[in-house]
Amino acid sequence: MIKNNATKKWLIQRLLGLFLAPLMIWFLLNIIAVYNKSYLEVLIFFSNPMSIFLIFLLLIFGFCHLSMGLNEIFEDYISNKKIKNVANIISRFLSIIIPLVTLFLLIQISL
Amino acid sequence: MKNSDNPLSPHLQIYKWQLSSLASIFHRITGVLNTVGLLFFCFWIISLFLGENFYQSIYTFLDSFFGKFAILGITWSFSFHFLSGIRHLVWDFGYGYDLKKSNIASTLIILFSFVLTILLYLIGKYFI
């Protein structure tokens, strides 16, 4: 197993990217198909169990991947350690809360 | 005075602009744009929960010229990040580092990001 933490992150970031690619293609195609449709038609897409499952994966993988990416950007462009840590904490916190709230409400919609 | 802060990456304005640096920085910029896009989609899903009246305001935006632009924009941003991401994977396996290949790859990524955008849009619009 990989012992080094940075190497682990590097690998996870790329694996998440690999999983995300097909999910994003599926999601974007469907969004393009329904983005200017009526409330009901959009609701039908979002309350389909298959859609919910794939959106679940997309949001979990997506927010992990983007939180790691933002972390790297902060690492490169914020010199002050304190500000960097605060930025990381806020972005990680939001990357957990936002997908969870969205998924919770998505399940509420479909019930 | 002890400076415990980490050294920074050189900021963008000191680079001499070249294809490779353009593709590289756009990988990050499109990554951030994808983040904004994903946040918007979360907001969209939440608006469905909040009811038809609330949804209507987002619908008005999405159905306008700016809405179409936003959807196309996020599609392009994903396309670029996706293609550039593939190149990152190729790099990780140790290929594609020499100057000539790098320039060809950068050109192809920029070009095909637009092709992929149009392709995704047409498929989504007419085949789904």
| Cβ atoms of residues A14 and A65 within 8 Å | no
From the list A18, A33, A75, the residue facing B128 with the nearest CB is A33
Residue B62 lies in a domain: yes
Mean pLDDT, rounded, of chain A: 94
Q: What is the domain count for chain B? A: 1
pLDDT value of position B79: 98
Q: How far is B14 from chain A (nearest CA, A)?
A: 14
Q: How far is B40 from chain A (nearest CA, A)?
A: 11
Beta-carbon separation of A108 and B34 below 8 A: no
Beta-carbon separation of B41 and A101 below 8 A: no
Q: How far is B68 from chain A (nearest CA, A)?
A: 9
| Cβ atoms of residues B80 and B109 within 8 Å | yes
Residue B79 lies in a domain: yes
Residue B3 lies in a domain: no
For each of the domains in chain A, give its residue range(s) and CATH number, in order of start: 5-110 (1.20.1300.10)
**Own/partner pairs for A84-89, CB < 8 Å, 24+ apart?**
none
Residue B8 lies in a domain: no
Q: Which CATH number goes with the domain that contains B63?
A: 1.20.1300.10
pLDDT per residue over A45-89, tens digit each? 999 999 999 999 999 999 999 999 999 999 999 989 999 999 999
Residue B90 lies in a domain: yes
| Cβ atoms of residues B47 and B54 within 8 Å | yes
Backbone angles phi, psi at A30, to 5 degrees: -70, -35
Integer Cα distance of A110 and A43 in angstroms: 8
Residues of A in contact with B41 (CB under 8 A): 27, 31
Range of the domain at B52: 19-127
pLDDT value of position B4: 65
Share of chain A above pLDDT 90, in %: 87
| Cβ atoms of residues A29 and B123 within 8 Å | yes
Share of chain A above pLDDT 70, in %: 99
Task: Please list the pLDDT of chain B residue by residue as tens digits (128 residues).
Answer: 456 677 777 776 776 778 888 899 999 999 999 999 999 999 999 999 998 999 999 999 999 999 999 999 999 999 999 999 999 999 999 998 898 999 999 999 999 999 999 999 999 999 88
Nearest CA in chain B to A60: B38
Q: Which of A32, A59, A17 is nearest to B75 (CA)?
A: A32
pLDDT value of position B9: 75
| Other Cβ atoms within 10 Å of A18 Cβ, number | 12
Residue B10 lies in a domain: no
